């Protein structure tokens, strides 16, 4: 394939794969009663580690803080996360998964791993590593803009 054609197709192929992944994962998580925005928030919180501030989580998710507040309110109402006051800064509230949130994430990760394995059938072991390196560079370039 012509290198320019590959460059032209890259953003669309990326968008199609991401959209398909989200659709399939949504179908597999339907019975858990969470929206895509909520499960993505939970994944980012888990990957970021317990005790993130709302600002840190919003940055990790690449969304605005007011958008995140509504998501956190709904997750807190569901009993999946909790906000705790920071011992270092009384104005800051730190985010943690609750026990129910940890159980939820265990179930979500199990289902997501099965889907991931299905979607990666036929790839060489090093292929995902190459794609991740490409995505990291693209994201780094995007954050400079």
Instruction: Give the C-alpha distances (Å, rounded to integers) separating 131 from 8, 19, 94.
Output: 17, 17, 33
Residues 6+ apart with CB under 8 A from 72: 41, 54, 81, 83, 95
> pLDDT tens digit string along 51-97?
999 999 999 998 998 889 999 999 999 999 999 988 888 788 899 99
Please tell me the CATH code under which domain 35-119 is placed. 1.10.10.10
Domain map (residue ranges) of the chain: 35-119
pTM for the full predicted model: 0.80
Chain centroid offset of residue 12 CA: 20
In this structure, what DSSP letter does residue 1 have? -
């Amino acid at each position: 394939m012509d290198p320019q054609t590959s460059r032209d197709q890259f953003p669309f192929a990326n968008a199609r794969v991401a959209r398909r992944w989200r659709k399939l994962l949504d179908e597999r998580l339907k019975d858990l009663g969470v929206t895509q925005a909520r499960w993505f928030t939970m994944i980012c919180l888990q990957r970021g580690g317990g005790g993130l501030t709302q600002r840190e989580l919003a940055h990790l998710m690449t969304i605005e803080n007011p958008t995140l507040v509504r998501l956190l309110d709904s997750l807190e109402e569901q009993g999946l996360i909790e906000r705790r006051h920071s011992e270092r800064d009384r104005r800051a509230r730190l985010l943690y998964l609750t026990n129910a949130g940890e159980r939820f994430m265990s179930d979500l990760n199990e289902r997501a791993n099965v889907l991931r394995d299905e979607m990666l059938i036929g790839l060489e072991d090093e292929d995902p590593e190459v794609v991740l390196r490409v995505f990291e560079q693209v994201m780094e370039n995007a954050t400079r803009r």
